[in-house]
Structures are given as structure tokens and as C-alpha cells.
Amino acid sequence: MARVLLVGGSPSARSRTTAALDAAGRALVAAGHETDPLSVRDLPPAALLAADFADPALRAAADRVERADALVVGTPVYKASYSGLLKSWLDLLPQYALAGKTVLPLATGGSPAHTLVLDYALRPVLSSMGAAHIARGCFLLDRSIGGPAADGAAPHLAAEARDRLDRALDGLLDALRAPSAPSALAG
């Protein structure tokens, strides 16, 4: 059983990215893994902006990364890149915080053209942080994700989005089962 940290980089309290991460978490739990959701939005904004490495909440978040076997890093696409909120947090982690870890990049956006954010924006930063394996990323169109239900029910993913997410999670799980993960440049 692997411990998977689900990192949400959306600044919105109710976001499609969070809904996609929730769906990923449910699938990972159903596959027998432990998940730990971390919403960067809930970290102290002043500590993030001031790069306060001593802040207890930021240290605790870094400890959660260290304890994880794998991460699913989710972000909405803003201005052809991942969110500034996610960037602020990633910048505060140790240079090789992802060493030895398998990472699945996940992005949500309004246009199929935004899928490029996975390979041209998010993958390079994850690689620079030493990820042992970066699984093939998953991009989901906003319109394929129903927002969080007011009654607490799980958000609905359209069939196409569910299939894409399932394939991406299969890649993550395959990498976790592999005796030695391939280089971060593969994927």
C-alpha cells in the first residue's frame, strides 16, 4: 500500500481541480492505497508570500511530502501555466523534495490547448525537484467536471474525463508497482 499525497493548487474553495483530485483519491483508496489531501489554499498566505520557512504549517506540509510515496499534483490552468499559488508553495519546498517519488501531474482548464501546461510548465518543475518518475499527466476539461455538490455528494465526472483519469491513475499505480522507477525524463 502506497501513501499518496493529493496536492491541490487551486486558490478557489470550490474548484473543478479539487473535484478531480477527490475523484482520484476515491479511486486510489478503492485500489487499496492511503491518500492524504493537501490544499495549498489552506496554508498561511503570509507565510507563503514571505517565504517563511519556519512557519509550522509550511513545515508540516513539507513533512507530508517527505512521508508520501507518490503525489498527484493538481492545478487549474492560468495564463498557460499552473497556478501561482502552487508555484509559491513548490518554491518553498527543498530542492529535491520529490526525490524517490512518483508524481502524477493533473490539470484542469477550459480549452484542449491548455493540455500543454502538463509537459511545458508542470513537468519541468517536478523533474527539477528530483521526482523519480513522472507519470503521463492528466488534463481534464472544465466542462467535463461537475462542481462539488452542496449535499456533500461526490462531483460527477463525464465518462470521457473518468476514462482519462483512470488511465492516468493506472500509469501512477504501474510506476508504484515497478521494482525501480524509470527516470523522470521518461513518461
Q: Once rounded to an integer, what is the mean pLDDT over residues 150-161?
A: 78
Query: How far, in Å, are 38, 42, 57, 186 from residue 166 at the CA level?
Result: 21, 27, 32, 20
Chain segment 114-139, per-residue pLDDT in tens: 999 999 999 999 999 999 999 999 99
Note the pLDDT of residue 13.
Answer: 82
Question: Residues, the chain, total?
Answer: 187
- Residue of 14 and 80 predicted with greater confidence: 80
Q: Are 145 and 160 in contact (CB under 8 A)?
A: no
- Residue of 14 and 31 predicted with greater confidence: 31
Chain segment 87-114, per-residue pLDDT in tens: 999 999 999 999 999 999 999 999 999 9
pTM beyond 0.95: the answer is no
Domains of the chain (ranges; CATH) run: 3-177 (3.40.50.360)
Note the pLDDT of residue 153.
Answer: 62
Dihedral angle over CA of 176, 178, 183, 185, nearest 10: -70
Q: Once rounded to an integer, what is the mean pLDDT over residues 62-73?
A: 98
